Amino acid sequence: MIEIDQRVAVQPRSIASTPYDTAWVAAIPHPQERRDPRFPTALNWICQNQWPDGSWGSAIPYLHDRVICTVAALIPLVRYGQRQTDYQQVIRGERYLWQNAQALENYPCELVGFELLLPALVDNAVTAGVKLPPYIRAFEKERERKLKMLPEQMIYSNQVTVAHSLEFLGATVDPIRLAGVQGANGSIGNSPAATAFFLHFLDDPEAVAYIERCLAADEGTAVSVLDPCETFDDLWTAQHRWLGGEAALSILSPELRQTLQVGLNGKGVSLSPSFPVPDADETAVALVLFKDAGLDIEPTALKEFERDDYFVSFQYERHPSVGVNIHALMALLRYPQYPGQQAAIAKVIAFLGETRQQNSFWLDKWHISPHYATGRAVVALLELDRTYPGRGQELLQPALAWILETQNEDGSWGYFGIPTVEETAYATLALEHIQNPGLRIRTAIENGVGYIQAHLNEPRPAMWIDKCLYLPSRIVESAIYAALGRRASTNPTH
């Protein structure tokens, strides 16, 4: 069996750097000479990571990601760039936006806070001197509408998720009240971008130290979209290893176990002890692993996130997550003592039925590929069928058919026309959970494993959703090796 933990340990950082947040850091002016960048290495990183079409963002050309990353990257380049190559990069970036931004309104947006962030970023870019097309302002009315829905006491609070995206305040910010959101680690909402925004107004030494720590994680050159997020990183890696066949008890370190237990005995688990906002995803996955590890815990924390028709990710959430409800179903199946367990299970099944795309697959708000959500749904629905035979088959069978029919000839899967090892791992791992599979499924698994093995060293595109697309390297690698590990454990002759 493949040693998943050793493979994952070689990853240089848990969350790969992103152009969006690095651009915010690159734009911070030097406190003594504001015509110079405070962190020139971040600006160099931006210069080195432009795509040939002039954009910045994930290798997957997801329009909203490319647009918001490109606008952000142009700001420090216009503000501080002095070389001829800098000017050329600006021209290419502006051209990309003029050629593509008109399609934003017709493209499904899945990024966190996009309607709030882009208009403020556009204002900042215009002030810096970036030449932008007028149609890139299409979200201004939506921004105004959403701002009216946000109570002011919620905006300047580190107890709600909006703290992670406070750069959306733009010129309307109250710097003194913003300082009140700052966490003990020096950050605003564990966000390098929001913290960089804060540093435009107040030269706070703790915020500077936070940015420097984030930069140090990538050799001093760039930052990620979320830092720190150690509970999320450890828990999702553990979940993938468990899905790959490892025993839950062996993969929950004493430190992680203690962190999860504190959250489960309270109002839920958060992505980091430094981010005091519990969420249902972490809470449900923790409950699943605790039960399978034989650890005694009550499931009452999950009740915090139950609503009339589904489970929410966070308090005050307006759009529910499919992935959260899938994980909630997996937890509910393990805790018959959950208050109203049967009604809650029926609620989630109904929600999954209503949120299917083309009556076949699912999309989730935290990952752009349906192979992530659909693969996880298959695992949960298989568990449902084993617990309550026949229940959920109307959801399970079309999902399995969709996975099988979308596999490419080379054994890969890839929703955006670009085969990826990550998506292939999610689809393969889902099929590997089928007991006594027939020839068609065995062949699909064999071909999927073959593709993964042949392409292990290829770069991984960012496909996870935050304010931009990002790559949680360790988590993705754990999913890939889980698919290989589960195959190896069930086929010892291979």
Please report, for residues 375, 379, 422, 448, the alpha-carbon distance to residue 413 in angstroms, rounded to integers and kept in the order given.
12, 17, 9, 8
* Domain ranges for the chain: 19-216, 230-490
Q: What's the confidence (pLDDT) of residue 151?
A: 80
pTM comes to 0.95
Hey, what are 215's tokens? 């930069």
pLDDT digits (tens, 9 = 90+) for 167-197: 999 999 999 999 999 999 999 999 999 999 9
CA distance 200 to 82: 21
Residue-level length of the chain: 494
Count CB atoms within 10 A of the CB of residue 350.
12
Q: Which of the residues in the chain have pLDDT under 50?
A: 1-12, 492-494
Q: Cβ distance 297 to 290 under 8 Å?
A: yes
Closest CA to 72 of 275, 229, 225: 225
Closest CA to 471 of 362, 369, 377: 369
In terms of C-beta density within 10 A (0-12 exposed, 13-18 middle, 19 or more buried), how is residue 318 classed?
exposed
pLDDT digits (tens, 9 = 90+) for 82-103: 999 999 999 999 999 999 999 9
Nearest 10 degrees: Cα torsion 213, 214, 219, 224: 170
Element (H, E) at 438: none
Residue 109 gets the label, from left (phi > 0), alpha (psi -120 to 50) or beta, of beta
CA distance 364 to 369: 8
Choose which CATH entry (3.90.1150.10, 3.30.70.1290, 3.40.109.10, 1.50.10.160) describes domain 19-216: 1.50.10.160
Closest CA to 204 of 173, 228, 183, 229: 183
Query: Does 230-490 match 19-216 at the fold level?
Result: yes
Count CB atoms within 10 A of the CB of residue 343.
11
How many Cα atoms within 13 Å fall on the side-chain side of residue 118?
29
230-490: CATH class: mainly alpha
469-470 and 464-465 beta bridge pairing: antiparallel
Q: Give Dmax over CA atoms of the chain in angstroms.
A: 69
Phi, psi of 171 (to 5 degrees): -70, -10
The structure tokens 């996955």 sit at 285
Helix (H, G, I), strand (E, B) or coil at 25: helix
Q: What's the confidence (pLDDT) of residue 488?
A: 62
Helix (H, G, I), strand (E, B) or coil at 272: strand
